[in-house]
Amino acid sequence: MRIATALSLVSAGMIAPAFAAPSGTLTVYTSQPQEQMATVVEAFNKDYPEVEVEVFRTGTTELMSKLQAEFTAGSTPADVLLIADAVAMTQLKQDDRLLPYADAPVEGIPADVIDADKAFFGTKLITTGIVYNTEMVETAPTSWNDLRAPEVASSLIMPSPLYSGAAVIHVGTMAQQPEFGWGFYEELAENGAVAGQGNGTVIEAVARGEKAYGIIIEYMAMNAKADGSPVDFVWPEQGVSAITQPIAIVKGTDNEEAAKAFIDWQLSQAAQTQSVEQGYFPITEGVAAPEGYPAMNGLNILSLDAAQLIADDQTNKEQFADLFGG
């Protein structure tokens, strides 16, 4: 067939376009709250209506255990991972479980939230700080050291790294800081602090007045405050731990085009705007942080050696369980 004839047939609609719109089923494993994911899927489907998104949601640590069991069994239904733990993503990459996406639309996204081989991509910034019940606390804490006081620690709850990916990062980050280390957690435990499961258990306990203080990711506290709960949030003066909630395609996916489309959308301006509406710091340039949040350039992020955290992961979880149960 001559080129001119072929082009005329395309123009006449007699030959289908070379690239069909993504379609079929896409299974997303995530630690993002279910109600937020429902909104994400709804927005995604406005741009990609032919893709049916199925979501499995649980805490990152539990999700990783499920995923590893599926890998051991031979396969997983997951096509895309969206989890609160870049260290876990790094481990999956090292285990050759992720499919790099070299052509992902990363313009305007800081290089430090993108894997060097484009195996995973940060989608938002989530920090961990202190929530407190405003009806129970007269003087707001300003420092991590304020939690050491016996009268504060005895009414403190925190998420467990045995369940939460954000807690894995936070505990690992604090353990690496010379001014805190495991002595910080030993002191909290000795003075009566307790661990729940994920961050959801923390905000529920503090909002209901069961505990006066909590260690928590910021958006859960700030969203609860906006909804009228008697809570407020503090970004401690020494700094905060941070995660980027990375997204990745699972190697072996049977719907690569839909998986890439989901990542395209997650990195888009529309998704970043939605993230801000959901209470997250954005990662793209030109998108303002949610109302009541500090400016991005004003955040003090605690340093983290990710390679060391991977090496210490199991030991950290065991030490935490010894102190707080699990």
Q: Quick one: pLDDT at residue 108?
A: 87
| Residue 253, amino acid | T
Global pTM exceeds 0.75: yes
Q: Quick one: pLDDT at residue 51?
A: 97
The DSSP 8-state label assigned to residue 147 in this structure reads G
Helices (H), strands (E): how many in the chain?
12, 12
The tens digit of pLDDT for each residue in 46-94 reads 999 999 999 999 988 889 999 999 999 999 999 999 998 888 899 999 9
CB atoms near residue 254 (< 10 Å): 14
Rounded to 5 degrees, what angle do the CA atoms 151, 232, 238 make? 70
Q: How large a percentage of the chain has pLDDT more than 70?
A: 94
Equal fold, 3-124+244-293 vs 126-242+299-324: yes
Give the start-to-end residue ranges of the domains of the chain: 3-124+244-293, 126-242+299-324
7: confidence class by pLDDT, cuts 50, 70, 90 = very low
Q: Quick one: pLDDT at residue 61?
A: 84
Q: Quick one: pLDDT at residue 19?
A: 55
pLDDT average, residue stretch 5-28: 58
Q: Please state, in angstroms and rounded to a whole number, the distance separating the CA atoms of residues 122 and 101.
A: 13
Q: Quick one: pLDDT at residue 296?
A: 78
The tens digit of pLDDT for each residue in 133-159 reads 999 999 999 999 999 999 999 999 999
Q: How large a percentage of the chain has pLDDT more than 90?
A: 79
Rounded to 5 degrees, what angle do the CA atoms 182, 115, 84 make? 50
CATH homologous superfamily of domain 126-242+299-324? Periplasmic binding protein-like II (3.40.190.10)
| Closest to 131 in 3D by CA, of 208, 212, 193 | 212
| Closest to 122 in 3D by CA, of 308, 322, 263 | 263
Q: Please state, in angstroms and rounded to a whole number, the distance separating the CA atoms of residues 167 and 299.
A: 19
Q: Which CATH architecture has domain 3-124+244-293?
A: 3-Layer(aba) Sandwich (3.40)
